[in-house]
Amino acid sequence: MSDKPTTIKEIAKILKISVSTVSRALNDHSSIGLTTKMRVKKLAMELNYEPNQKAIQFLQGKSHIIGVILPELSESFFSTAISGIEDVAYKRNYTVLLAQSHDDADREKLLVEKMKTQRVDGLLVSVSKTTSTYEHFEVFKKLNIPVVFFDRIPPIKDIHYVASNLENGTYEAVNFLLKKGHRTIGMINGPTTLVASHERKEGYIKAMISNRLKFDPSLIVSCDLSEDGTIDVMNTMLNHRRKPTAIVTFNDYVALFAMRYTRSLELEGIDFVSYANLPIINYMDYTPIASVEQFPYKQGKKAADILIDLINRPKNETGTEQAYFNVVVESELIVPTPK
Amino acid sequence: MSDKPTTIKEIAKILKISVSTVSRALNDHSSIGLTTKMRVKKLAMELNYEPNQKAIQFLQGKSHIIGVILPELSESFFSTAISGIEDVAYKRNYTVLLAQSHDDADREKLLVEKMKTQRVDGLLVSVSKTTSTYEHFEVFKKLNIPVVFFDRIPPIKDIHYVASNLENGTYEAVNFLLKKGHRTIGMINGPTTLVASHERKEGYIKAMISNRLKFDPSLIVSCDLSEDGTIDVMNTMLNHRRKPTAIVTFNDYVALFAMRYTRSLELEGIDFVSYANLPIINYMDYTPIASVEQFPYKQGKKAADILIDLINRPKNETGTEQAYFNVVVESELIVPTPK
DNA sequence: TAATTTTGCGCAAACGTTTGCTCAATGGTT
DNA sequence: AACCATTGAGCAAACGTTTGCGCAAAATTA
């Protein structure tokens, strides 16, 4: 039927009124009479009129699109986070342009370029593991396009970000194990370069101290998070003069490796606590007895909200100091209630 | 520094030439002299000129954005598929507007609306489980925006789609079990309403027949795919007069439930074959001995390629019959090589 | 040298919508 | 009767870019 979509012009012509009147009528402008409004709206309906967004975007310089760059959707943290982002975007009438860096810094850089040429209204980024320079984000500042980082945030100043703090959750985790009677608690931590490793360690220490226990640094070992690496550090743990009766692992994968290994040695009775990464964990035979939750959905939501706020904030008066949003989502220990 | 982005006009003014010359120079049009081209490009560089995509999109009526609506990113099938989609889009200079229906038909309908108002150049859809009407996709036909369905395709005529055929893979799976010496092979199938269930059954039957074995329909049971449902049908299986020595399950979750149940009964020696859904399966203690792979990445890739081809096909001459792409990606049995 | 082709560039329209300004007609107030 | 405020609607510019057409100057041919 209709080859080309209806335009405002056609409506104007049919009704023998001007385009501006039609435009105002459709937008419920106060200076248009009720009868005219009705006539316009009725015809618009009949002709299946849809405003040409491309024209509007062009005119107003807004796309109502936010770009999202993250490492890997197959990591459940991110696929959950994107749901939070998407839901907020949806509610606030934005749409989500998605791209994965696959933890490749070069690809990330290209994606940032693409987002720029698409002229997204704002950008949400969780940086790739291999990213070490951050100049490619500078352009956005010049273009006055806000960028909000989440979860994996770059170690630089003057950025907006939302991230989780694992100290709290880890504190609760260790505390929980202590309350359960454990006195020798091991921790399989990640590479010391990661902020996340540091936070875990701090939480651990804090818990020990607040329980008036001595902190034994040799009970915290770092690990490359591979299966072989996990087995190595498990051996270290198990041969420790104080063999741990409970272990906090860096993530669910490590927990799985470690638990499998202890079972293969027919060791029983070591309690594991991990960090929530894998949804599948609920379906498994052997699982950690508790998990530190990082609330990816909430993080995504928060980050998107901040970004859209930034997009819509009143034009920053020149001279005024820019304020940066730095939001920390606290982690929390979740102990499954046995059914 | 630069408050507003540089435009082609400014370049023209500075160089005292017309905007059309600048435009053509930047696009390497043949009718512009080399020296002029160089001058323009040099200045464009210096001024950090970026073409205003919104203007171009508006002018050409193309957004170079494809919409993708799928049920759940946290299902690994989809998060893998989107990678395929994204990679193709990336290569062919499109970007991906993403939205999840969360298997809610109403939400899906709204998302389709949104994609329409955003005027995507094309739409890729895997329909939600609860979707039962399909009129909301009709609008796109009128707007001449191509729609390609993938994996979960609606049971209607005259659509483009990419889907996998599980018959082949199932045939191979059953054949594999027969070659291993099994003679009584059970199948935990899904609801009979699903096309996928039908394909599995056909593959099963085909394998039996081609091995000159009698097909016993009572060895195929359908299941609601929940854990309780799985246990129910497992009981049926195990009490069958011919107790199966191998079982083909509808998906990895069902396989996990079933395997856990047999272990709880301290039954040994039943071989399981499943369909590849869960990446985590590789990390587990007890896994199916083989898997039917559905190649989500490939499916996503193919679907995106078809969509973009459709977007760029020459205008369909009126009167010419429309051709529909119906692509089937064959499934395949993967037997892990033990290390 | 005159006629013709090629080369290089400018003019202006077009895309669909919004919006500041203008202006006529109406109604109400002195 | 003269004046002012209000209401309702139109004119035209603007957003940045592409592109068909036209036209002059330069290069080629006869």
| A326-330 and A160-165 strand pairing | parallel
Contact between A333 and A288 (Cβ < 8 Å): no
Shortest CA distance from A67: residue in chain B: B97
Q: Do domains B60-156+297-330 and B166-293 have the same CATH topology?
A: yes
Query: Residue B318: what pLDDT?
Result: 45
d(CA B128, CA A73): 19
B246-249 sheet: strands from edge to edge: B220-222, B185-189, B246-249, B271-275, B290-293, B332-334
Query: Residue A245: what pLDDT?
Result: 95
State mean pLDDT over A211-237. 94
| A95-100 and A65-70 strand pairing | parallel
Which residues of chain A does B2 touch, with a Cβ-Cβ cutoff of 8 Å?
142
CB under 8 Å to A71, separation ≥6 — which residues? A78, A100, A101, A102, A103, A126, A127, A128, A129, A152
Residue boundaries of the structural domains of chain B? 8-51, 60-156+297-330, 166-293
- Chain Cα centroid distance, residue A222: 25
Shortest CA distance from B260: residue in chain A: A285
Nearest to A285 among B50, B119, B260 (CB): B260
Of B78, B80, B114, the closest CA to residue B97 belongs to B114
The CATH number of domain B166-293, selected from 3.40.50.2300, 3.40.190.80, 1.10.3720.10, 3.40.50.2000: 3.40.50.2300
pLDDT in tens, A312-338: 886 554 444 568 999 999 999 999 876
CA distances from A67 to A137, A247, B60, B96, B157 (A): 13, 39, 22, 10, 35
Query: Which CATH superfamily is A167-292 part of?
Result: Response regulator (3.40.50.2300)
DSSP symbols for B204-268: HHHHHHHTT----GGGEEE--SSHHHHHHHHHHHHTSSS--SEEEESSHHHHHHHHHHHHHTT--
Residues 252-291 of B with CB under 8 A from A: 253, 256-257, 260, 263, 278-280, 283-286
Nearest to A118 among B5, B95, B280 (CB): B95
Nearest to B54 among A57, A96, A284 (CB): A57
d(CA A325, CA B110): 32
The answer, for A226 touching chain B at a CB cutoff of 8 Å, is no
Lowest mean pLDDT among A16-30, A242-256, A315-329: A315-329
CA-based nearest distance A91→chain B, Å: 11
The answer, for B50 touching chain A at a CB cutoff of 8 Å, is yes
Query: Residue B317: what pLDDT?
Result: 46
**Rg, C-alpha atoms of chain B:** 27
Shortest CA distance from B102: residue in chain A: A83
Query: Residue A281: what pLDDT?
Result: 74
pLDDT by 10s per residue, chain B, length 339: 446 788 999 999 999 999 999 999 999 888 888 898 999 999 999 998 989 989 999 999 888 999 999 999 988 899 999 999 999 999 998 999 999 999 999 999 999 988 988 889 999 999 998 888 999 998 888 788 999 999 999 988 899 999 999 999 999 999 999 999 999 999 999 988 888 899 999 999 999 999 999 999 999 999 998 899 999 999 999 999 999 999 999 999 899 999 989 999 998 889 999 998 787 777 777 889 999 999 999 999 999 999 999 998 865 544 445 689 999 999 999 998 765
The second-level CATH assignment, the architecture, of A61-156+297-331 is 3-Layer(aba) Sandwich (3.40)
What pLDDT band is residue A305 in, cutting at 50, 70 and 90? very high
Shortest CA distance from A116: residue in chain B: B50
Q: Spelled out in words, what is the top-level CATH class assigned to the domain B60-156+297-330? A: alpha beta
Chain D bases near protein CB atoms (7 A cut-off)? 7-12, 14-20, 22
Three-state SS at B117: helix
Query: Phi and psi of B285, rounded to 5°?
Result: -70, -50
Cβ neighbours, 10 Å, residue B226: 12
Helix, strand, coil shares of chain B as percentages rounded to 5? 45, 15, 40
CA-based nearest distance A18→chain B, Å: 22
Cβ neighbours, 10 Å, residue A112: 20
State mean pLDDT over A268-282. 86
CA-based nearest distance A203→chain B, Å: 28
Query: Residue A299: what pLDDT?
Result: 97
Nearest to A253 among B48, B65, B283 (CB): B283
CA-based nearest distance A311→chain B, Å: 16
Total CB pairs under 8 A between chain A and B: 121
The answer, for A142 touching chain B at a CB cutoff of 8 Å, is yes
Q: Is the CB of A17 under 7 A from strand D?
A: yes
Q: Kindly report the length of chain B.
A: 339
Query: Residue A270: what pLDDT?
Result: 93
